[in-house]
Amino acid sequence: MTDAVSLIRAKRDGQRLADEDINWLFEAYARHEVADEQMSALLMAIYFRGLDPAELRTWTAAMIASGDRLDLSSVGRPTVDKHSTGGVGDKVSLILAPLVAACGAAVPQLSGRGLGHTGGTLDKLESIPGFRAGLTPDETLAVLASVGCVICAAGSGLAPADRRLYALRDVTGTVESIPLIASSIMSKKIAEGTSALVLDVKVGSGAFMTSYERARELAETMVALGEEHGVRTRALLTRMDVPLGRAVGNAVEVEESVQALQGHGPDDLMEVTLALARQMLALAGIAGDAAADPVAAIADGRALAAYRAMVRAQGGDPDAALPQAAHTQVWPAPASGWLTSLDALAVGIAAWRLGAGRARKEDDVSASAGIICLAKPGEAVQAGQPLLELRADEPERFGPALAALEGAAAVSDHGPPPALSPVIEEVGPA
């Protein structure tokens, strides 16, 4: 008979877990016959010993089977979603979902909230007065069918085992395990019922994966899981050493997203967004059609119209004024020359300390707090020139935020530095 202690010992000693053992584990855990302490011990063993591809496939399938799966067959359009591993200034989803919908696909985007220095898509959208992120499955399907895109929270019925496991990983130091990250992300994405998925795997100081090798391994692992579970899956590796775009925060990122949908987005933000859009449309099988040109969909206003329709359908007012911070302060350039770097992690931590992020899942966030990048690497600056504009509701937040920015920018008189594309490479099935 299978028991939790035997599975912990087996994985601790480097043995593989049989399919029937993994399935028993999740069923027993759902019945609370396996204690959180025992599951935590197994997660730590997996952190050190890993899961081979067969184990990971079964582990992910068991997480999916722990709850419901959305049926998107009634939507009437090919479905495709996108997931980002998180970064600083990463408001791509707000632009991408309506953009791809305007090109003919349906985008059922189940998103999350920010934690630490990385922002959350739902926090950003909830800075729009009236916007509702918590939709029932029926409401989600209704918005998707009428508008072509929806961005909302994953319901409690989708992969509930992941919610319990993530809480354990968060407090036991086992978050940074590629098999556990991959199964967490992919179980929810597969359960949401999309036919295709594009992954934006960030690489750099402001990303969860700071090294190219680890990011590539995560991308390959998630692509394989998606394909094994019948979801056409591709990944892009994109840079996250510098904040994406110029706005970092919640309402400020919504404002920049609307500007992007009006055709005025920063070059780096638009390059990533358009690369992901083209991948999504190709996987959905509708690329090549003149109506499926994302550049044209922005130019002729279809993408902005889809965004406004989505916001309205989710209770928001796209014409309402966004929250504005009560206090601002600038952070100056340390010298004259060419700005060669602006550390994404430092900017993300500063925005978090200003109130834009949270330390714990239950914390509130400020809609108006954030940072505007007044200069980006590659631009010429003068000593004392404002590089960043910091925004906060309480002035006492500026001190800790400025401390986080110490050494965050580098200026050189040899320049300008070479321009690097934010898109590194595509990862497809092996």
Q: Which two tokens stand for residue 156?
A: 């409690």
Cβ–Cβ < 8 Å for 95, 261: yes
DSSP string of 374-424, one letter each residue: S--TTSEE-TT-EEEEEEESSGGGHHHHHHHTTT-EEEESS-PPPP--SEE
Measured CA angle at 414 (ends 409, 415), to 5 deg? 80
11 catalytic? Reply is no
Which residues, other chains included, contact 351 with Cβ-Cβ below 8 Å and sequence gap of 6+?
88, 117, 119, 248, 249, 357, 369, 370, 371, 401
Closest CA to 323 of 100, 123, 109, 50: 123
Catalytic position from the list 21, 81, 123, 162: 162
Whether 162 is a known active-site residue: answer: yes
**How many angstroms separate the CA atoms of 107 and 78, rounded?**
9
> Catalytic: 188?
yes
Three-state SS annotation for 258-290: HHHHCCCCCHHHHHHHHHHHHHHHHHHCCCCCH
Q: How far is CA 326 from CA 229, 350, 369, 392, in A?
A: 49, 17, 9, 6
In DSSP terms, 107 is beta-bridged to 149
Buried b vs exposed e over 299-328: b needs ≥16 C-beta within 10 Å? Answer: eeebbbbbbbbbbbbbebebeeeebebebe
Catalytic residue flag (residue 289): no
Instruction: Please say if 205 is a catalytic residue.
Output: no
Among 124, 169, 278, 358, which one carries the catalytic annotation?
169
Give, in order, the Cα–Cα distances in Å from 32 to each of 18, 71, 105. 21, 28, 41
Angstrom distance (rounded) from CA 244 to CA 176: 23
Rounded Cα distance between 273 and 51, Å, is: 33
Choice among 127, 183, 184, 195 that is catalytic: 184
Catalytic residue among 57, 113, 124, 188: 188
Residue 218: other Cβ atoms inside 10 A: 25
Sheet holding 380-381, edge to edge: 380-381, 337-342, 409-412
Beta-bridge partner residues of 232: 196
The residue annotated as part of the active site, out of 11, 57, 82, 83, is: 83
Burial 48-61 (b: 16+ CB within 10 A, else e): ebbbeeebbbbbbb
Q: How far out from the chain centre does Cα 302 lie?
A: 24
Catalytic residues, by residue number, are: 83, 162, 169, 184, 188
